[in-house]
Amino acid sequence: MKPTLPQSALDQLFLAAHTAQGFQAESVPDATLHALYDLLKWGPTSMNCQPARYVFVRSAEAKERLRPALSPGNVAKTMAAPVSVIVATDTHFFDHLPEQFPAYDARPMFAGNAALAQETGMRNGSLQGAYLIIAARALGLDCGPMSGFNAASVDAAFFPDCRYRSNFLVNLGVADPAAGYPRGPRLDFGTAAQIL
Amino acid sequence: MKPTLPQSALDQLFLAAHTAQGFQAESVPDATLHALYDLLKWGPTSMNCQPARYVFVRSAEAKERLRPALSPGNVAKTMAAPVSVIVATDTHFFDHLPEQFPAYDARPMFAGNAALAQETGMRNGSLQGAYLIIAARALGLDCGPMSGFNAASVDAAFFPDCRYRSNFLVNLGVADPAAGYPRGPRLDFGTAAQIL
């Protein structure tokens, strides 16, 4: 059996990690974003379907395109974050299956069933959004994930051909320890889990 | 800025991790399942909504209840896995918001909007499914996540009051290195990501 990771790693990934509400000015270079993708991409998805798409919004011009879609409480921190990631779902993820899942031709199973494609895209695209959060923490970055935005506005501004749909946003950078709320409680084991 | 985790940790979490198709006989005790929950529970969800529920199916009796719902290709490996987790979503997750998200009363926002509750439950419940996978790997366990099962059958067998809905399954244990497929490829950065 492989070992449990060192306590410092468990702290950085989960136990002491905390949603960032503000960031230091330090920028996030291209090389870090490539390293982030090269880590998170190995997280598992069903049939290796990999429906998530990541738009790293970093330039002032792209941030301004994002601004009108943000909920009021998320504007200032998102405009100031070094990078804001739009985690989106490719509604035609199944076009990549013949190459990504060579075991058999799984494309028709999704191309002919819009409900299954939508559900599979949402489930696995969300898994891949979590992989982004955890992989960023593994690289020493802090994350501020958010659902407070107008998805239709983001999609109109960034995905005019309607193939991708925004799922959620994640601000990325090095947290300003002065900006943050106390961490919320968590459900106890007996409420969230059972052993049968 | 926090450090990047050691290479051995990145390997264990992402780079060398691989979906397990078979497991060694070694059992997974209660203490490990509690440790797993106590790690994964700290992963972020929107408004701290924590919609995922985890049913650790470990006894022979509970495995037999699961068996008829499994796709044929998933029966043998799931019946033999030390534990199979039903990652489910609590459709009434918002009943816990007053206690888990004390900032303001967010319950009515979901209680009065079934579509928003469904989407929020699915997105965040899937994030929490990914936290389970990564937290298990952090504890040295191997995972075999699966979508190949009949969700209605699982729900009828395990959630007769219809409050929880199954999302996906994860076999857990210590992998048998002899049982496994070669790992699939991954989309390149330019297909899955862009920097704006």
Residue B181 has a pLDDT of 80
Spatial CA neighbour of B82 closest among B33, B148, B17, B39: B33
Q: Which parts of chain A are beta strand (E)? A: 52-57, 83-90, 142-146, 164-173, 193-195
> Could you tell me whether strands B52-57 and A193-195 are parallel, antiparallel, or unpaired per DSSP bridges?
parallel
Nearest residue of chain A to residue B147 (CA atoms): A46
Are A63 and A93 within 8 A, CB to CB? no
Q: Report the alpha-carbon distance of residue B58 to residue B132 in Å, rounded.
A: 16
Spatial CA neighbour of B98 closest among B49, B42, B163: B49
**A135 has which bridge partners?**
none
Tokens of B154: 């699982």
Residue B114 has a pLDDT of 97
Q: Which residues are CB-contacts of A78 (< 8 A; sequence separation ≥ 6)? A: A63, A66, A67, A70, A84, A146, A169, A171
Which pLDDT band holds residue B182 (cuts at 50, 70, 90)? Answer: confident
**Mean pLDDT (whole number) for B103-123:** 97
Residue B191 has a pLDDT of 98
Residue B22 has a pLDDT of 95
**A94 has which bridge partners?**
none
Q: Report the alpha-carbon distance of residue B124 to residue A49 in Å, rounded.
A: 19
pLDDT digits (tens, 9 = 90+) for A131-166: 999 999 999 999 999 999 999 999 999 999 999 999
Spatial CA neighbour of A21 closest among A180, A184, A173: A180
Q: Do B167 and A58 touch (CB under 8 A)?
A: no
Rounded to a whole number of angstroms, the distance from the CA of A146 to the nearest CA of chain B is: 7
Question: Does residue B179 register a pLDDT over 80?
Answer: no
Residue type, B182: P
Q: Which residues are CB-contacts of B149 (< 8 A; sequence separation ≥ 6)? A: B69, B70, B71, B74, B166, B169
DSSP code at position A13: I
Rounded to a whole number of angstroms, the distance from the CA of B65 to the nearest CA of chain A is: 10
Beta-carbon-side half-sphere exposure of residue B115 (alpha carbons within 13 Å): 0
Tokens of B161: 């009051």
Q: Do A100 and B59 touch (CB under 8 A)?
A: no
**B86 has which bridge partners?**
B55, B169
- Mean pLDDT of all residues in chain A? 97
Are A49 and A100 within 8 A, CB to CB? yes
Q: Which residues are CB-contacts of B111 (< 8 A; sequence separation ≥ 6)? A: B94, B117
DSSP code at position A3: P
Cβ atoms within 10 Å of B184's Cβ, excluding its own: 18
From B100, B185, B189, residue closest to A37, measured CB to CB:
B189
For the question of whether the overall pTM of this predicted structure is more than 0.95, the answer is yes
CB < 8 Å to A10, chain B = 39, 138
Residue A180 has a pLDDT of 76
Q: Produce one character per residue of B116-137: b if its CB has 16 or more CB atoms within 10 Å, e if not.
A: ebebbbbbbbbbbbbbbbbbbb
ipTM: 0.98
Q: Is A191 helix (H, G, I), strand (E, B) or coil?
A: helix
Question: Does residue B99 register a pLDDT over 80?
Answer: yes
Most A CBs within 10 Å, among B8, B11, B14, B54, to test the A interface: B14
Cβ atoms within 10 Å of A80's Cβ, excluding its own: 16
